[in-house]
């Protein structure tokens, strides 16, 4: 179990992020067309998982926009933003904000992703959704970098995530 804070209040996650060097856990998420997607669907691609509580918050929106800009010029990287938001809301956000270099994925059918990646909030007002985190995965499915952002209202370290690629 790890801890994070939200405006100074401490909350727990269900576990720890995957270890650097380990195989990234498989996942079952939902894309904007309501299709199921898994990690294997991105085989051969470098991934940045931008894990956020909800795109309907300022910091989550900012991190998604920033990764859209910073990774947008790289053909070798795919940024996936994972949240508990419904795919319809994710799609509206991306359209409204002009997000074209980030693929939104929803946990609407299961919280297994959050559990398997150790980011499921287990108590407090955000229980049941994710803490803010970044996981970078190599094209062969190995974890290259992780960051559990200690304060949920803070942005992740974009440069460190990109440098891990």
pLDDT at position 98: 93
Residue 6 φ/ψ, nearest 5 degrees = -135, 110
Domain count, the chain: 1
Write phi, then psi, for 50 (nearest 5 degrees). -95, 100
CATH code where residue 22 lies = 3.40.30.10
Tens of pLDDT, residue by residue over 47-91, are 999 999 999 999 999 999 999 999 877 888 999 999 999 999 999
Q: Is 161 helix (H, G, I), strand (E, B) or coil?
A: helix
pLDDT score, position 84: 96
Q: How far apart are CA 14 and CA 122, in angstroms?
A: 6
pLDDT for 73 equals 79
Note the pLDDT of residue 76: 87
Q: Which domain holds residue 135?
A: 3-163
Q: What is the CA radius of gyration of the chain?
A: 14
pLDDT at 75: 86
Catalytic residues: 60
Q: What is the mean pLDDT of each run of 10 residues along the chain (165 residues)?
A: 92 97 97 97 95 94 94 88 97 94 95 97 94 97 97 95 93
């Amino acid at each position: 179990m790890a801890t994070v804070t939200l405006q100074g209040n401490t909350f727990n996650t269900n576990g720890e992020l995957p270890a650097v060097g380990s195989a990234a856990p498989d996942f079952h998420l939902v894309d904007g067309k309501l299709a199921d997607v898994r990690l294997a669907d991105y085989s051969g691609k470098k991934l940045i998982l931008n894990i956020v509580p909800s795109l309907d918050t300022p910091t989550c929106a900012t991190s998604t926009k920033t990764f859209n800009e910073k990774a947008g010029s790289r053909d070798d990287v795919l940024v996936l933003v994972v949240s508990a938001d419904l795919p319809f809301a994710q799609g509206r956000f991306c359209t409204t904000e002009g997000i074209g270099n980030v693929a939104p994925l929803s946990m609407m059918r299961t919280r297994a992703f959050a559990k398997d990646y150790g980011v499921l909030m287990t108590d407090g007002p955000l229980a049941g959704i994710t803490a803010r985190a970044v996981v970078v995965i190599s094209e062969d499915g190995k974890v290259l970098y992780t960051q559990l952002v200690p304060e949920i209202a803070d942005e992740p370290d974009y440069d460190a995530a990109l440098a891990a690629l």
